[in-house]
Structure 1
Amino acid sequence: MGEIAGHARVVIIGGGVVGVSALYHLAKAGWTDCVLLEKNELTAGSTWHAAGNVPTFSSSWSVMNMQRYSTELYRGLAEEVDYPMNYHVTGSIRLGHSKERLREFQRVAGMGRYQGMDLDILSPDEITSRYPFAETHDLTGALYDPYDGDIDPAQLTQALAKGARDLGAKIYRFCPATGVRRENDEWVISTEKGEIRCEYVVNAAGYYAREVGKMFGRDMPMMVMSHQYMLFDEVPEVEAWSKENGKKLPLVRDVDSSYYLRQEKNGFNLGPYELNCRAHWTTPDDPMPGDFSFQLFPDDLDRLEWYINDAVERVPLLGTAGLTKTINGPIPYTPDGNPLIGPMPGVPNAFEACVFTFGICQGGGAGKVLAEWVMHGETEWDMWSCDPRRFTGFCDQDYSIAKGKEVYGHEYGMHFPHHAWPAGRNKKLSPVHDRIADLGAQFGAYNGWERANWYARPGDDTSEEATQTWAREGAWFEAVREECLAVRDAAGILDLPGFSRFKVQGPGARDWLNTLITGMAPKPGRIGLGYFADERGRIVTEMSLMALDEDFFFLITAATAQWHDFEWLIKNLPAGSEIIIEDVTEAFACQILTGPKSREILSAVTEADLSKSWLTHQSAQIAGTWCQLVRVSFAGELGWEIHTKVEDTAPVFDAVMQAGQAHGLKPFGMFALNSLRLEKSYRAWKGDLSTDYTMLQGGLERFVKFEKPEFIGKQALLAERQRGVTKRFVTLLVDAGDCDAPYMSTLWHDGKVVGETTSGGWGHRIGKSIALGMVRAELAEPGTVLEVEIFGERFVATVAPDEPLWDPRNERLRA
């Protein structure tokens, strides 16, 4: 093929369905000067051996958006690019064996309806009417998705490739990228056919993404699983049914048994996700080969025996078919099973679109999202669920392998709100970890840090199974109630390791921060919330700004936001600036002491001035060690955050705990903190605060200073204010049943969808179910009666006054 083009705007490394989709979407948006490099032939990685299923189902709002977009794209793609494709929209039946599974289905069906998809819940009898060959005696029901189906992965990839080429983009096959370097603010990609310079580069290398990542100095959070599916002989009854009905059988997923079964021609395709699964290329004795194009692993059917027998019991007709072929190929996994789509952490003008476990069904939407990232630096939908920066430095290979195997073995697992998955734990431990464990702490992982979720009392059921419920039940609920009431009536202490923390200092630091946040940076000695908007006025993040001097700040943000927020600061720092930004997250720790008795407790251990007002901070001594006492409380009570060096956590904790015994001090956990913050309408990042909403929609007008000369998003917010805000943030009091409203529960009014919840839970101080959410602006008036759909049932939800449900005038907070 000769030498390749010497320059392109974007170079994509990897020619599977995702890379080609990204190329197609860039070209379709007008960026035609783009190149894709593939080491072998297109589809040579996971794409060629993929089963080709195209579900829309996801319990993640953003992933469902992405998959829905794919189905819409694929339905019209053959005609649009003039390339024939086998795309069978058969519908699917997802079987449920339990009440909890049916609730999951109801929730996803509600999300799907909101996105314009008519998903339906079937009774066992209705399953038989759509799929007469299934045994249904032990089922509670099923989810029916009419948009599900299967597509030929190779044809899909070639169709996207043709569309991209027709628009002017270039694809070079048998042309591996052999190295990258940064030169004159450009990327130089080395290949066997010459070098190519570009502004942007994309790692879309599938299960080879980790090898490509190493070229950029990045160790990718990923591993590779072997996934087997089996093809079975044709069955006369299947052929007869298809002829009579003029279509293929719906795809069946028995999610509680963990496999899918679909019609393949007139036979079957069975694909299990087994618990006794196998990872590949994990040790020096089993290295990743230089090229595994169009290759498979040897069959390993012994570990699938239980799943095959279970499928035969579910669909006895399968037992009459002979096994004709087994496909055992590599599929990449991240530690949470979602792909990596977005900016490559810490690397300028580099992006990732890789590690897709379900690349065929997500490929169309992923191409759209990736193109938006590259062209605009932001996406239409908030895509934090897939953002590469959600995994920070603790995600080493051991962690990625342990979590990848866990996700694979529980591919259809339900993600209950109070359940903590056990693999890959104890990556980062607080110095008082053992102390709080002895007090009954039940832990959850937050950016690798182990924090107490709740404290078990003697005799409480702390088994994993006890938290596998959507309902307000189990020992954890009563324990959390006691923790909340201790904070209300006396005091509570929460060990909170892992806050992300950035030191910002240097000439002009204050003025620069004021161009980034919508409000104003606090004066020295004070702390305040800073909201960062994008150019569209949407909420990027929230940080606490602690001013130590005129141009010296500590910025404190969520644990999981560490790489995301640090990059936002670095990206917006002017070239040549004297301002220094340091990530000092690993050096500092925090403990929250809050409740009406907290001042009395602190006065016994420090000489600090505890009369200083709310939103102030001061240096102090506790147990002979330095700390920074910050007069804030996310729990909405009188309280302080006690910031220390990590190594000083234990003496401070011990001193406070000892002083607190006479005052009813109790340790409390993250579940209690979540309940307490809901009662104050305090927003949580990437739920209530995300780029799905603008600052004005989010009810954050008081943090927007329009009189400032300039800040990011000002023009968009001025325009929005002038034309009127379409939806608004509300706090809702819900007459709920035994479940609180989860994220993205649909809000109804007069039979119409009018909004969605962004978080929800039980408020133990007020004894009521609470939801935070977004609703059409005209319905945001206090007292408006709405309905919230919780697991398929609608419950009355009343818009609360524009003040906190607990301590509305902040008298306790300011005491």
Structure 2
Amino acid sequence: MTTLPTHARAVIIGGGVVGCSVAYHLAKLGWTDVVLLERKRLTSGTTWHAAGLIGQLRASSNMTKLARYSAELYTGLEAETGVATGFRVVGSISAALTGERLEELHRSAAMARAFGVPVEEMSPAEIKAKYPHLNIDGVTGGVWLPTDGQADPGNIALALAKGARMRGAVIAEYTAVTGVTRAGDRITSVSYEGPEGPGTITCETVVNCAGMWGHQVGRMLGINVPLQACEHFYIVSEPIKDLGPLPVLRVPDECAYYKEDAGKMMLGAFEPVAKPWGMTGIPADFEFDQLPEDFDHFEPILEAAVNRMPMLGEAGIHTFFNGPESFTPDDAYHLGLAPGMDNVWVAAGFNSIGIQSAGGAGMALAQWMDDGQKPFDLGDVDISRVQPFQKNRRYLAERASETLGLLYADHFPYRQKASARGIRRTPFHDRLDANGAVFGELAGWERANWYAQPGQEREYRYSWKRQNWFDNVAEEHRAIRTGVGMYDMSSFGKLRVEGRDAATFLNHVCGNDVDVPVGRIVYTQFLNSRGGIEADVTVTRLSETAYLVVTPAATRVADQTWLTRHLGDFDAVVTDVTAGEGVLAVMGPRARALMQAVSPDDFGNDANPFGTAQEIEIGLGTARVHRVSYVGELGWEIYIGADQATHVFDTLWQAGQDHGLKLCGMHVMDCCRIEKAFRHFGHDITCEDHVLEAGLGFAVKTAKADFIGRDAVLRKRDEGLKTRLLQFRLTDPEPLVYHNEPILRDGQIVGYLSSGAYGHHLGGAIGMGYVPCAGESAEQILASRYEIDVAGTRVAAEVSLKPMYDPTGARARL
């Protein structure tokens, strides 16, 4: 019987592979007073029935780094702990059945090269040679990742648990957490019911690693962990004579993966429409349980698999398995310090990749907990990305029915979720809809991404090439560059910071100096202690004691959380006012003429200079205009109270008919901003990108009072830059770039694009990306020959340190 302490530095809730990994890595860092509480047996939720596939290539560099770490960790665990993990490097093949899927695989192969993952493109014949049991009818090609592997999921978890115990961690089974004590934004103790009865552990931190129970455990802890359990199916064949080791095989166009294990074949599926499970709660006695078989649901997958792998039709089925796994609204797991609490951490919702992710996720979270800051950019999985509404259980069930299938769907650029839509709408939604808007969704917001022509279908036709809205966006682009366009920015986050210390507080958090006259707008970043960028915002001084911080829609929660965690003793409050105002951006050379047509106020440079905000009359109402631009043109962002928003829209739209006004969407904003080399937070700039290497030194004022990151900025100025963010334009106007395409300098891969879009004015695809530059001058960097690898084809690219469009910024100041 395990004797539990009365106090712990960390209490981990959940004994699956992720919880065991967090315990292992905390103990490895010297946290000897770690307690892991498991309600039943270790691995008894999802881990025990996982497929155990260990893939190393993920959708971003850092997620790949974590997956590779997992594989390296599992390789040495057996020698360290004496527990066999069954880890074998067998390689993996992904086979395409369409041209679009093949391009996706070729783009992923290019990305692998940029990330340093061994990869080979394969012809159908080469796939057949490596996997002779496969029927290659219809196969268009594929990729081979030789260092991928497979392992025993349960034993990996048990090895991690043993490694944690060897370093002093306490792990208790059949010990269910029943409640917590909360003091302000901290959990101070955890109550449990164990084999010897109830007890309480006071604690400094709590980690929610409860897997498919993570959502309800989150509610107990006072945090939002949006995830939903879904049924997940696989079959295992009878033994197949003379079947030897095989690579893992994925045929995503048939929603299937195959794994050889001990002379049997496993067939698993990620079907397009999944079956959510446990919406009313998971049974209290659930332990190593299976769900009822549903052969009718699985049958279409099996039929295709028998054709693709004929030996399956001859071998017979030994096991038909249906077990639950948890899925999140965006198919990315939840990791990090939960918004709203100061000592509650999360590692949950692994979307059927828990085994390949657990080692790296546990390592990253443990380092984050130990250091107090992320070890590197974890924006893809940082739980601060989640939105408050996403805890809604009906929303989770509807969205999870789609996200499971999206794991093996074509990962087309700009792909929109189809389920659980229409939750957050701006005041202009109906007006935009009536004028042909095609909506996408971000952070729950319905946003007009592009506008269809009369009679044109109002939906996406996805492709890796030019999609059906390419020409529409080109016209919108032309309007902004040569006339006037208007788009809806209401979804962008709006945080009101006010109080006696508002200016002092924001100057502590921001790199730029925000102690400016009332009405001034300051572009700035929130920096961390390493000079990395935690947020990219504008700060407008509304009064002596009040500011408006405008953030990207997707990072509003994260940015508000960053502010509140640094408030300390400052006399200030932070309030989310996003829904209180609608925002219309009026941009283009004719923007001033349109504004003067709807308002008696003066929009000239003397009365309304760039970088200022002021109250105006507009139509029959009032608004506040911010003279800034994310598209690089003359223009205004118009902030309107929600009660007057549609009136102002109607006023502008009616007057705009005499000025050639065109409604524009979010896609064109991205196309325009990348021509101007404006950075995109989360892609071009992240918490591990130094503000000076990102080319944003102009937005940092080290002469002001001390601020977070100031020392790191001064050090970097002394040391010199190791890398620089460059802008690229493909000289061939046809290929498209999105992000993660390798950058080649004089024939050698030196980096990858952090973002990409089409520059309709510049006449080619534009990308941004970091290139090593230690000891080099700007002239030396630019003197090299650059190419971008697009799906295996090297395309020549022009390169620039300054914006290729309007490098002096004169157009926004017309």
Give the TM-score, by structure 2 length: 0.96
Match of 1:749 among 741, 745, 751: 745
Give 2:480's aligned residue.
487
Give 2:456's aligned residue.
460
Q: Name the CA distance, whole Å, in 1 between partners of 2:424 and 2:187.
A: 37
Q: Name the CA distance, whole Å, in 2 between partners of 1:110 and 1:483.
A: 32
What are the superposed Cα offsets for residues 256-289 of structure 1, whole Å, 9 maximum, x if unpaired?
1101111121121111122343111224xxx421
Structure 2 residue 383 is matched with structure 1 residue 388: yes
Give 1:187's aligned residue.
188
Give 2:55's aligned residue.
55
Q: Name the CA distance, whole Å, in 2 between partners of 1:79 and 1:737.
A: 54
1:104 Cα offset (Å): 1.6
Letter in 2 for 1:220: V
Letter in 2 for 1:356: F
Q: Name the CA distance, whole Å, in 2 between partners of 1:186 and 1:421.
A: 35
1:783 Cα offset (Å): 4.8
Q: Name the CA distance, whole Å, in 2 between partners of 1:485 and 1:779.
A: 36
1:669 Cα offset (Å): 0.4
Give 2:65's aligned residue.
65
Structure 2 residue 566 is matched with structure 1 residue 572: yes
Structure 2 residue 766 is matched with structure 1 residue 767: no
**Structure 1 residues 581 and 419 mapped into 2: Cα distance closer, same or farther (>3 Å)?**
same
Range with greater deviation from structure 2 (737-746 or 154-163): 737-746
Letter in 1 for 2:806: D
Contact 2:601 2:616 in 1 (8 A): yes
Give 2:35's aligned residue.
35
Q: Name the CA distance, whole Å, in 2 between partners of 1:3 and 1:48.
A: 26
Q: Name the CA distance, whole Å, in 2 between partners of 1:200 and 1:670.
A: 41
Identity of aligned residues (%): 36
Give 1:804's aligned residue.
803
Q: Name the CA distance, whole Å, in 2 between partners of 1:795 and 1:2.
A: 62
**Structure 1 residues 186 and 277 mapped into 2: Cα distance closer, same or farther (>3 Å)?**
closer
Contact 2:2 2:172 in 1 (8 A): no
- Following superposition of structure 1 onto structure 2, how do residues 131-142 of structure 1 map, counting pairs within 5 Å? 131-142=131-142
Range with greater deviation from structure 2 (552-561 or 384-393): 384-393
Range with greater deviation from structure 2 (109-118 or 88-97): 109-118
1:736 Cα offset (Å): 4.0
Secondary structure at the aligned position of 2:218 is classed as helix
- Following superposition of structure 1 onto structure 2, how do residues 414-563 of structure 1 map, counting pairs within 5 Å? 414-464=410-460, 466=461, 468-471=462-465, 473-521=466-514, 522-563=516-557
1:653 Cα offset (Å): 0.6
- Following superposition of structure 1 onto structure 2, how do residues 339-378 of structure 1 map, counting pairs within 5 Å? 339-357=333-351, 358-378=353-373
What are the superposed Cα offsets for residues 434-487 of structure 1, whole Å, 9 maximum, x if unpaired?
2211211111112111111100113434444x1x1111x243000000001111
Secondary structure at the aligned position of 1:280 is classed as coil
Q: Name the CA distance, whole Å, in 1 between partners of 2:615 and 2:712.
A: 40
- Following superposition of structure 1 onto structure 2, how do residues 274-293 of structure 1 map, counting pairs within 5 Å? 274-283=271-280, 287-293=281-287
Give 1:235's aligned residue.
240
What are the superposed Cα offsets for residues 347-404 of structure 1, whole Å, 9 maximum, x if unpaired?
1211110111211111111101211221223223311111122121222222221221
Q: Name the CA distance, whole Å, in 2 between partners of 1:177 and 1:15.
A: 12
**Structure 1 residues 784 and 614 mapped into 2: Cα distance closer, same or farther (>3 Å)?**
farther
Match of 1:616 among 612, 619, 624: 612
Q: Name the CA distance, whole Å, in 1 between partners of 2:2 and 2:87.
A: 36
Structure 2 residue 652 is matched with structure 1 residue 656: yes
Contact 1:252 1:262 in 2 (8 A): yes
Q: Which runs of 5+ in 1 are unaligned?
A: 243-247
Letter in 2 for 1:431: P
**Structure 1 residues 341 and 805 mapped into 2: Cα distance closer, same or farther (>3 Å)?**
same
Letter in 2 for 1:225: C
Give 1:87's aligned residue.
87
Q: Name the CA distance, whole Å, in 1 between partners of 2:671 and 2:274.
A: 38
1:618 Cα offset (Å): 0.3
Structure 2 residue 308 is matched with structure 1 residue 314: yes
Q: Name the CA distance, whole Å, in 2 between partners of 1:653 and 1:377.
A: 46
Letter in 2 for 1:606: S
Q: Name the CA distance, whole Å, in 2 between partners of 1:291 and 1:774.
A: 52
Give 2:631's aligned residue.
635
Match of 1:711 among 701, 707, 713: 707
**Structure 1 residues 517 and 41 mapped into 2: Cα distance closer, same or farther (>3 Å)?**
same
Q: Name the CA distance, whole Å, in 1 between partners of 2:183 and 2:645.
A: 45
1:740 Cα offset (Å): 2.1
Q: Name the CA distance, whole Å, in 1 between partners of 2:621 and 2:77.
A: 66
Secondary structure at the aligned position of 2:49 is classed as coil
Structure 2 residue 227 is matched with structure 1 residue 222: yes
Q: Name the CA distance, whole Å, in 1 between partners of 2:394 and 2:100.
A: 32
Q: Name the CA distance, whole Å, in 1 between partners of 2:517 and 2:754.
A: 32
Contact 2:756 2:765 in 1 (8 A): yes
Q: Name the CA distance, whole Å, in 2 between partners of 1:588 and 1:264.
A: 58
1:183 Cα offset (Å): 4.0
Letter in 1 for 2:579: E
Secondary structure at the aligned position of 2:625 is classed as strand
Give 1:245's aligned residue.
none
Letter in 2 for 1:609: D
Match of 1:305 among 296, 299, 304: 299
Range with greater deviation from structure 2 (156-165 or 229-238): 229-238
Structure 2 residue 288 is matched with structure 1 residue 294: yes
1:305 Cα offset (Å): 1.1
Structure 2 residue 16 is matched with structure 1 residue 16: yes
Figure out how many residues of one structure are paired with residues of the other and give that number: 799
Give 2:250's aligned residue.
253
Q: Which runs of 5+ in 2 are unaligned?
A: none
Secondary structure at the aligned position of 1:256 is classed as helix
Contact 2:85 2:153 in 1 (8 A): no
Contact 2:180 2:187 in 1 (8 A): no
Letter in 1 for 2:684: D
1:206 Cα offset (Å): 0.4
Q: Name the CA distance, whole Å, in 2 between partners of 1:173 and 1:202.
A: 16
Letter in 1 for 2:805: W
Secondary structure at the aligned position of 1:117 is classed as coil
Match of 1:722 among 706, 718, 740: 718
Q: Name the CA distance, whole Å, in 1 between partners of 2:790 and 2:663.
A: 31
Give 1:203's aligned residue.
208
Q: Name the CA distance, whole Å, in 2 between partners of 1:640 and 1:76.
A: 58
1:676 Cα offset (Å): 0.6
Letter in 1 for 2:615: S
What are the superposed Cα offsets for residues 151-179 of structure 1, whole Å, 9 maximum, x if unpaired?
11111011101111111111111111111
1:750 Cα offset (Å): 2.9
Letter in 1 for 2:765: S
Contact 2:582 2:642 in 1 (8 A): yes
Q: Name the CA distance, whole Å, in 1 between partners of 2:808 and 2:357.
A: 47
Secondary structure at the aligned position of 2:798 is classed as strand
What are the superposed Cα offsets for residues 624-668 of structure 1, whole Å, 9 maximum, x if unpaired?
222111111111111000001223221011100111111100000
Secondary structure at the aligned position of 1:394 is classed as helix
1:122 Cα offset (Å): 0.7
Range with greater deviation from structure 2 (54-63 or 264-273): 54-63
Match of 2:772 among 751, 770, 776: 776
Q: Name the CA distance, whole Å, in 1 between partners of 2:579 and 2:370.
A: 34
1:422 Cα offset (Å): 1.3
1:10 Cα offset (Å): 0.9
What are the superposed Cα offsets for residues 187-229 of structure 1, whole Å, 9 maximum, x if unpaired?
2000124111111111000011112112123343111101111
